[in-house]
Amino acid sequence: MKGFDQTQRGTLRRVLGYIRPYAWLVALSLLLAALTVALTLYFPILTGDAIDCILAPGQVDFASVAKIAARMAVVVALTSLAQWLLSLCNNHIAYGTVRGLRDAAFAHIERLPLKYLDAHAHGELVSRVIADADQFSEGLLMGFTQLFTGVITILGTLAFMFSLNWQIALVVVLVTPVSLFVAAFIAKRTYAMFKLQSETRGEQTALIEEMAGNQKVVQAFGQERNLLGRFDEINERLSKASLRAIFFSSITNPATRFVNGLVYAAVGVAGAFSAIAGGITVGGLSCFLSYANQYTKPFNEISGVVTELQNALACAARVFELIDAPAETPDAPDAQTLSDVRGDVTLSHVDFSYDPARPLIENLSVAAKHGQRVAIVGPTGCGKTTLINLLMRFYDVDGGTIQVDGHDVRKLTRKSLRTSYGMVLQDTWLKAGTIRENIAMGRPDATQEEIVAAAKASHADAFIRRLPEGYDTYITEDGGMLSQGQKQLLCIARVMLCLPPMLILDEATSSIDTRTELKIQEAFARMMQGRTSFIVAHRLSTIREADVILVMKDGHIIEQGNHETLLAQGGFYAELYNSQFDPS
């Protein structure tokens, strides 16, 4: 593995692990490559024999030439068939390997903790799984297609040349190290350049994905020119990185072609002297020159393959970096499954921060009893949504405990914990599919009647029936033609269909008009009966009926009580409430 450093060797070993399931295809590919090369090398012998049958004008052995021509036709047909089968094998190996790599990467994304996804641009992750994997497959395919046949061609032509005339063959061997030196020299310098190219392409993909998803905001604030400048800067860096990588890799072909010329000239001169001395026939010299050309040609291909492998390994390394990212802490071996949920939730002396240097929640204690409606209010950044993330165990606490029905959530399976909650967020999420599929996400086995009942309860049924195909209307992942309020109604219907024992409503009606909001609040009130509910709200009018209101500020609960009690205290909650309803 000359020309490969330790990191590349490690990447190559891992790639071979993904190729291992196709070992029998690799073996078949080697056999087909050997057959292709053997037939290709046999063809010049037939050509030389045909030339030797042409002695002089009027002295041509047409019968022998005809027999040789028939054999040549059979050889060409068999070579074409072997090459076609070889391509089938190599395609199956390359794309099967990349499929396995993509499967592993996507499966790992599902296991990554939320903090990793929050800290990395989504477009950059997409670039690794899609663009880098594509680049890897192209390099791998070229490796299987040309590397096997190239190596076997070199070995085969050497064997044939030594069998014909060892002196001329020795001349060829002495010039060979020049090609090896050229390939090694280029290989050492291209990996870092292709890696930089791949990283910059990922950065560009991330920017494009971000802008495509937020084009309305960009245009609303007139940021087109600034973002175009940012794109141009990344594009310029990608252009420079690509040019450097391609420049060094493009040196391969002319450099090895120069070596090819040296070999061909050396064989021609040595062969001419040998033919004059009677050491080889004219047909034999023609055959030898053909071998010399076939011998040097794989060096061109192998040098190109080495360059492409540098690119492929650089891309594979980026995919492996994603696969190697620390996964979410798995459920404990003795983790319990939460069942028969009552809904008693207790937070005791909870500490948490996204950045250890900047504490967020400190020594927070809350007790929510079965069936209580707990509202969480406070200024932006005080920790309301963070508290929801902790309840759902998207993040684990740094200190203290969170318990559901007396069980520490860290000793429960995440699936059983999360399915015990129904959550409606301010940010809606819909998948590409029909309206019915989106509502039934939490209960795929729900009947049409149950889906319609949930839609009616969330007041979504009316607008759904006005859609072109009603409940069978297909929407994209961003909701397509639906308004933000309609998308939020679908998310509410999704929860109303599942009816879990505990609810989390994080600004669940923020995008809905006041009249519809009043109706949904009534539906929520019915749904929350007998269910422990956590309600995050900025509009304090929506939480007047809450059993307990937690007032948060800077990660601490500074006030606690019901609406009337907190107003009577005249504290921070009263100040917030009056700021919304007192025009003065």
Band (pLDDT 50/70/90 cuts) for residue 78 is: very high
Considering only 216-225, 360-369, 485-494, which range has the smallest mean pLDDT?
216-225
Report how far residue 376's alpha carbon sits from residue 384's, in angstroms, rounded to the nearest whole number: 6
Instruction: Identify the residue with better confidence: 329 or 81.
Output: 81
Q: What are the structure tokens assigned to 360, written together?
A: 């967020």
Q: What 3-state class would DSSP assign to 535? A: strand
Beta bridge partners of 481: none
Phi, psi of 506 (to 5 degrees): -105, 95
- Portion of the chain with pLDDT greater than 70, in percent: 89
Residue-range domains of the chain with CATH: 6-324 (1.20.1560.10), 345-581 (3.40.50.300)
- Pick the more confident residue, 304 or 99: 99
- Between strands 373-377 and 548-553, the pairing is parallel
Residue 81: pLDDT band (50, 70, 90) is very high
User: If you search the block for the tokens 């890696």, which residue do you land on?
Assistant: 195
Range 132-161 average pLDDT? 78
Instruction: Report how far residue 69's alpha carbon sits from residue 42's, in angstroms, rounded to the nearest whole number.
Output: 13
DSSP 136-165: HHHHHHHIIIIIHHHHHHHHHHHHHHHHH-
What pLDDT is attached to residue 253?
67
Collapse the DSSP code of 389 into the 3-class scheme (helix H, G, I; strand E, B; otherwise coil) and give the result.
Answer: helix
**Position 250 pLDDT exceeds 60:** yes
Kind plus residue range of the DSSP H or E element containing 302: helix 282-324
Describe the strand order of the beta sheet including 407-408 as a list of residue ranges: 361-368, 345-352, 399-404, 407-408
CA distances from 26 to 32, 83, 143, 543, 545 (A): 10, 14, 12, 66, 69
Mean pLDDT for the chain? 80
568, 392 contact by CB (below 8 A):
no
Q: Which H helix or E strand runs over 345?
A: strand 345-352
**What are 487-529's pLDDT values in tens digits?**
888 888 888 888 888 888 887 666 667 777 777 777 777 777 8
The pTM (predicted TM-score) of the whole model is: 0.66
Give the rounded distance of the alpha carbon of 161 from its chain centre: 48
Tens-digit pLDDT profile for residues 17-44: 888 888 888 888 888 888 888 888 787 7
Burial 503-542 (b: 16+ CB within 10 A, else e): bbbbbbbbbbeeebbeebeebbeebbeebbbbbbbbebeb
Residues 440, 205: Cα–Cα separation, whole Å:
32
Q: What's the rounded mean pLDDT across residues 470-498?
A: 82
Mean per-residue pLDDT, 440-449:
87
Q: Are 411 and 332 in contact (CB under 8 A)?
A: yes
Pairing verdict, β 548-553 and 556-561:
antiparallel
User: Could you tell me which of 451, 392, 458, 395 has the C-alpha nearest to residue 420?
Assistant: 392
Residue 459 — left, alpha, or beta (φ > 0 → left; ψ -120 to 50 → alpha)? left
* Entry field: residues in the chain: 584
DSSP secondary structure, 427-463, as one string: S----SEEHHHHHTTS-TT--HHHHHHHHHHTT-HHH
